[in-house]
């Protein structure tokens, strides 16, 4: 007898002896896609076992399964070297056959799952010493131990980033991106635990101390398998020779790695200085530190410092790319008008690409500008793809492209990209929040909440997971949880309009309209003094049932090029006015692809 097996990772509900839910429904549909004697799994399962089993797997594309809303990515295990016996002809009693076959099928499936589990665990244990793991290295955030404290934190952060960048250009050495490691800043986890988390063979740890214009850098090279320090060194020098110190450290790490890695082809690629001027470089590092704060004041300080850096060195490509990134962030977090910020994005990103055509950061900023400001959908996708080609191991590139695909209602592709980002940066709070975004947009609110809870457990003071959890709770009808989460997000953000608008929506949809209208009044007063997105006001009016006002602010959003207008086609808050003629006119002005306007899928700001 040949059986077909379908496997999916999803929610299962057990009630009154019955088992149901997406996990069961999709698995059942996949069973019929499988060839006789084969096993079909969804993308969610494939991403968990990819590279973990020595079994050939065939990608059979995205399939539209019966009674399943979105296409499902299908993968099939191929037993190429196994002879499949011909189906025997058996005379049977139907009732006896049903019991017997069901019992055998259950045993077969359980046995297959057990075998796969044993193989997977064996492979995971073997990977600790495999060439692939041994070729991967993580540079952990350097500790700032200067007497000046936070004032010099920019140097330790910057040294971490630049060392990652330098080592990434070192032949076959696989270096984890900054996004993957920054969560270990001040972590008390052991080298073995971190190595297991990140699936790397080696770690670089270090500290930075400054005294006047001199700097002292301590570095350790740690073997994860033995948790022993294989090499350590202290470097001292002048701040104006920071390039030389970085090159010396990167070169020594590469030499240490070359002597211990199974690969013998590691060589150093050219590693040019980002700028010949050390003063401009140090200013640039300080600017990056302030930009990472994601606050209005931090973004303002960062931009001012970057302008000083390019005034000193007009050919400083990395500084121009950072200016483009800061300008785009100001449109979301900085209270600046889109007309100002996005024009700056294009100006600075173009200049960065003139100086360095392969700048991943500049390409990503251009993609964001084309998505949120000019609404050039194909141009945005082209820049996202080029950024990924420029640096395939950059989790931010995969994360932003996943969000773009989610907005374009291409959920299977979005899921593949966000899973790649999660593999590259498994403990990144930003990537986890983006995974919640993609899940939310796909209508999987429970999954969105799970991603948020995972991020909140790591850092309860991080704003975004509280925001996404609140949005998901609204759709799940959990008003109290939504209000609590969104109030926390608003508090952590310092009262950003996007967070307050979502909080007011939760109040409105729970029937507490007085609180919602008070927030609306406060935001309208604020808009007379500084920029508040028309989109945020429109969503609030829609939640309160103010149709004319909601449509008016959406029309204003088109006029002002509000960044979040790209979400209007699918934001569930507009479901009740979706067929209004003025709403249709707004969609027409956006020129959204038909795939992103043909349903009521929710999206995230």
Do 127 and 199 form a contact (C-beta atoms < 8 A)?
yes
pLDDT computed for residue 33 by the predictor: 81
Give the pLDDT mean for 441-467: 92
Do 464 and 29 form a contact (C-beta atoms < 8 A)?
no
Q: What would the two tokens of residue 142 be? A: 């350097």
Q: Confidence band (pLDDT; 50, 70, 90) for 170?
A: low
Query: pLDDT of 207-249, one tens digit each?
Result: 998 888 888 899 998 988 888 888 888 988 888 787 778 778 8
Q: Which fold has domain 398-605?
A: 1.25.40
Q: Confidence band (pLDDT; 50, 70, 90) for 52?
A: low
Give the pLDDT mean for 432-459: 92
Give the pLDDT mean for 443-458: 92
Query: pLDDT of 69-93, one tens digit each?
Result: 667 778 888 654 444 444 444 434 4
pLDDT computed for residue 259 by the predictor: 60
Q: Is the confidence at residue 130, as pLDDT, over 70?
A: no
Q: What would the two tokens of residue 519 be? A: 């927030």
Residue 576 is classified by DSSP as G
What are the residue ranges of helices labelled H in 391-496?
395-407, 411-424, 429-441, 445-458, 463-475, 479-493
Query: pLDDT of 466-509, one tens digit each?
Result: 999 999 999 999 999 999 999 999 999 889 899 999 999 999 98
How wide is the angle at C-alpha 282 spanned by C-alphas 331 and 157, nearest 5°?
A: 70
Q: Where are the domains of the chain?
A: 5-127, 131-271, 398-605
pLDDT computed for residue 505 by the predictor: 95
The β-bridge partners of 211 are 214
Give the pLDDT mean for 169-179: 71
pLDDT computed for residue 363 by the predictor: 96
- Kindly give the interhelix angle for 497-509 and 479-493, rounded to the nearest 10 degrees: 160
Q: Is the confidence at residue 147, as pLDDT, over 80?
A: no
Given the candidates 3.40.50.10070, 3.40.50.720, 3.30.300.30, 3.90.226.10, the CATH classification of the domain at 131-271 is 3.40.50.10070
pLDDT computed for residue 66 by the predictor: 73
CA 388 to chain centre: 13
Q: Confidence band (pLDDT; 50, 70, 90) for 591?
A: confident
Q: Identify the weakest region by mean pLDDT among 11-20, 376-385, 583-592.
A: 11-20
Give the whole-angstrom CA distance, residue 245 versus residue 432. Answer: 34
Highest mean pLDDT among 35-44, 380-389, 456-465: 380-389
95-99, Cβ contacts within 8 angstroms, sequence gap of 24 or more: none
Q: Is the confidence at residue 101, as pLDDT, over 50?
A: no
Q: Is the confidence at residue 95, as pLDDT, over 80?
A: no
**Is the backbone of residue 189 left (phi > 0), alpha (psi -120 to 50) or beta?**
beta
Q: Is the confidence at residue 297, as pLDDT, over 50?
A: yes
Do 520 and 541 form a contact (C-beta atoms < 8 A)?
yes
Q: Confidence band (pLDDT; 50, 70, 90) for 267?
A: very low
**Among residues of the chain, what percentage have pLDDT more than 90?**
39
**Among residues of the chain, what percentage have pLDDT more than 70?**
79
Give the pLDDT mean for 281-291: 88
Highest mean pLDDT among 21-25, 191-195, 510-514: 510-514
- Kindly give the interhelix angle for 497-509 and 534-544, rounded to the nearest 10 degrees: 10
| Greater pLDDT, 262 or 255 | 255
Give the whole-angstrom CA distance, residue 277 versus residue 283. Answer: 10
Residue 566 CB: number of other CB atoms within 10 A?
Answer: 23
Q: Please spell the DSSP secondary structure of 181-243, one letter per residue.
A: HGGGTT----HHHHHHHHT-SEEEEEEEEEETTEEEEEEEEEETTTTEEEEEEEEEEEGGGHH
Helix or strand (DSSP H, E) at 204: strand 202-211
């Amino acid at each position: 007898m040949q059986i077909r097996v379908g496997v999916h990772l999803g929610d299962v509900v057990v009630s009154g002896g019955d088992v149901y839910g997406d996990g069961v429904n999709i698995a059942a549909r996949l069973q019929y896609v499988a060839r006789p004697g084969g096993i079909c799994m969804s993308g969610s399962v494939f991403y968990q076992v990819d590279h973990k089993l020595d079994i050939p797997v065939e990608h059979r594309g995205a399939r539209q399964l019966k009674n399943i809303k979105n296409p499902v990515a299908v993968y099939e295990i191929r037993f190429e070297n196994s002879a499949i016996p011909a189906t025997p002809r058996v005379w049977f009693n139907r009732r006896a056959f049903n019991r017997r076959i069901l019992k055998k099928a259950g045993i077969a499936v359980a046995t297959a799952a057990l075998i796969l589990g044993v193989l997977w665990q064996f492979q995971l244990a073997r990977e600790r010493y495999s060439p692939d793991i041994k070729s991967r290295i993580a540079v952990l955030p350097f500790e700032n131990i200067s007497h000046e404290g936070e004032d010099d934190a920019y140097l330790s952060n910057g040294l971490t980033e630049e060392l990652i960048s330098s080592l990434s250009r070192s032949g076959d050495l696989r270096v984890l991106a900054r996004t993957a490691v920054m969560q270990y800043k001040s972590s008390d986890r052991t080298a073995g635990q971190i190595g297991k988390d990140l699936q790397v063979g080696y770690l670089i740890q270090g500290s930075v101390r400054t005294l006047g214009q001199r700097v002292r850098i301590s570095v350790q090279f740690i073997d994860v398998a033995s948790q022993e320090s294989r090499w350590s060194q202290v470097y001292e020098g002048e701040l104006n020779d920071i390039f030389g110190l970085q090159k010396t450290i990167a070169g020594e790490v590469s030499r240490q790695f070359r002597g211990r890695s199974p690969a013998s082809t590691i060589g150093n690629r050219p590693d040019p200085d980002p700028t010949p001027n050390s003063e401009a470089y140090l200013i640039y590092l300080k600017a990056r530190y302030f930009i990472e704060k994601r606050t209005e004041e931090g973004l303002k300080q960062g931009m001012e410092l970057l302008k000083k850096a390019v005034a000193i060195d007009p050919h400083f490509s990395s500084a121009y790319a950072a200016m483009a990134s800061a300008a785009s962030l100001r449109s979301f977090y900085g209270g600046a008008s889109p007309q100002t910020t996005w024009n700056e994005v294009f100006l600075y990103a173009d200049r960065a690409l003139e100086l360095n055509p392969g700048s991943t950061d500049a390409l990503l900023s251009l993609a964001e500008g084309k998505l949120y400001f000019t609404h050039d959908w194909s141009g945005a996708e082209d820049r996202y793809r080029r950024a990924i080609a420029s640096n395939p191991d950059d989790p931010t590139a995969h994360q932003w492209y996943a969000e773009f695909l989610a907005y374009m209602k291409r959920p299977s592709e979005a899921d593949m990209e966000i899973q790649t980002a999660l593999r590259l940066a498994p403990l990144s709070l930003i990537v986890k929040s983006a995974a919640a975004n993609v899940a939310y947009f796909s209508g999987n609110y429970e999954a969105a909440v799970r991603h948020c809870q995972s991020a909140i457990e790591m850092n309860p003071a991080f704003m975004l997971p509280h925001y996404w959890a609140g949005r998901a709770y609204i759709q799940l009808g959990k008003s109290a949880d939504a209000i609590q989460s969104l109030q926390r997000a608003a508090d952590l953000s310092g009262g950003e309009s996007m967070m307050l608008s979502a909080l007011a929506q939760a109040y409105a949809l729970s029937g507490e309209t007085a609180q919602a209208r008070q927030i609306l009044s406060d935001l309208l007063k604020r808009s007379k003094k500084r920029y508040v997105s028309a989109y945020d006001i429109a969503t609030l009016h829609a939640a309160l049932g103010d149709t004319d006002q909601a449509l008016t602010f959406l029309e204003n959003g088109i006029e002002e090029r509000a960044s979040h207008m790209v979400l209007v086609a699918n934001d569930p808050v507009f479901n009740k006015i979706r067929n209004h003629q003025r709403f249709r006119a707004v969609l027409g002005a956006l020129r959204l692809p038909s795939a992103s306007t043909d349903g009521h899928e929710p999206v995230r700001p």
